[in-house]
C-alpha cells in the first residue's frame, strides 16, 4: 500500500512539526548553555578577587594579633 505524498512527506503523524519543535528547543538550550558559560566565567573572576581580599585580610589580622601578643607578653 503506497502512502500519499502528504503522508510520506511528514512521516504520517506530524513528524516534521515535531522535528521543527525539537530543533527550536535545542536552539534555546544552546543559547541557555552559552549564557551559563559566560555567567560561570564572571563568577570565577569574582570569586578569585574575593579570595585575594580574604587572604589579605587574614594576613593583616594575623600580623595584628601577633603584634598584640608580643606586646602583651613583653617580648619587645
User: What is the model's pTM?
Assistant: 0.50
Apex CA 34: angle with CA 38 and CA 40, to 5°? 30
Per-residue model confidence as pLDDT tens for the chain (76 residues)? 454 555 555 556 789 999 999 999 999 999 999 999 999 999 988 888 888 889 999 999 999 999 999 998 888 7
C-alpha 76/C-alpha 70 separation (Å) is: 6
Closest to 67 (Cα-Cα) out of 37, 22, 26, 75:
75
**pLDDT the model gives residue 68:** 93
Q: What percent of the chain has pLDDT over 90?
A: 57
HSE-CB of 1 using CA atoms within 13 angstroms = 1
Mean pLDDT across the chain? 85
CB 3 within 8 A of CB 12: yes
Amino acid at each position: 500500500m503506497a502512502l500519499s505524498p502528504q503522508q510520506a512527506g511528514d512521516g504520517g503523524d506530524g513528524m516534521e512539526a515535531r522535528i521543527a519543535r525539537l530543533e527550536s528547543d535545542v536552539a534555546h538550550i544552546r543559547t541557555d548553555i552559552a549564557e551559563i558559560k559566560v555567567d560561570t566565567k564572571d563568577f570565577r573572576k569574582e570569586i578569585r578577587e574575593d579570595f585575594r581580599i580574604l587572604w589579605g585580610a587574614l594576613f593583616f589580622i594575623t600580623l595584628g594579633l601577633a603584634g598584640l601578643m608580643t606586646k602583651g607578653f613583653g617580648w619587645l
